[in-house]
Structure 1
């Protein structure tokens, strides 16, 4: 059982699809796509199965007020998104589920609990695309 903790700003920024013109809209679209992942078993970054039991998304800045889709926990960073993500990771690391943090931010990676596994946004975006494909579902 795995909890995914997602650095949403970092993940949104991984696709050059014009997100910078509407950060809140891009965030809302990503969260809707990610809402399909809890309850699924994904192929992990190492190829091993990842049974996703929960998904926690950290949002910040202009995207802080986006709606939270059903099935996701959204953490709204009052200040630094990195600070909120590191604090949330510390809280989640004490739980029963494995913790898989999705970020490409090297500085943030250094602040995560030792028990946290790390994956890049590309892995998550590909997994979400596969989950949205009816042929894969």
Structure 2
């Protein structure tokens, strides 16, 4: 049996905000650093199991959603990474993207600790993991 292609959607605000490293002084800079790390992960490849997700496949698609003052970072090109500047709130953009990717036949895992967002994503058929698993992999 073939597994569905996998997409990792990253809630940029939630992941950046999970570490008290001064991100609030330069939200776009913090988002750009996260984007660079995600791009490196996408290029290097990481098995799904490295993030606690069942399956043997690697992350063929990693997408980052940025909102608010972090949006300008999405204008940069980062090899291996698709970036989205949310028109309004990042949560709505994540739910919409998850629905689109699932509609394309992809399995979707979203990185966020936001409980309300996780519930909305589950209704779309997406799974969610916390930022800690991703940050540990990027470290």
**TM-score normalised by structure 2 residue count:** 0.84
Judging changes above 3 Å, is the alpha-carbon distance between structure 1 residues 114 and 85 closer, same or farther for their aligned structure 2 residues? closer
Q: Is the 8 A contact 1:44 1:50 kept in 2?
A: no
Q: Secondary structure at the match of 2:136?
A: helix
Check if 1:116 corresponds to 2:126.
yes
The answer to whether the 8 Å contact 1:35/1:72 transfers is yes
Aligned equivalent of 1:36? 40
Shift of 1:114: 4.4
Output the CA distance in 2 between the equivalents of 1:97 and 1:127. Answer: 22
Comparing 35-44 and 96-105, the one that deviates more: 35-44
Structure 1: gaps of 5 or more residues:
130-137
Q: Compared with structure 1, are the counterparts of its residues 18 and 8 closer, same or farther at alpha carbon in structure 2 (3 Å cutoff)? A: same
The answer to which structure has the higher helix fraction is 2
Which one has the bigger strand percentage? 1
Q: CA deviation at 1:8?
A: 0.4
Give the alignment partner of residue 135 of structure 2, picking from 116, 125, 131: 125
TM-score (norm 1): 0.86
Cα deviation, residue 65, structure 1: 1.2
Q: Which runs of 5+ in 2 are unaligned?
A: none
For the aligned residues, what is the CA RMSD?
Answer: 1.7
2:71 maps to 1:61: no
Number of aligned residue pairs = 129
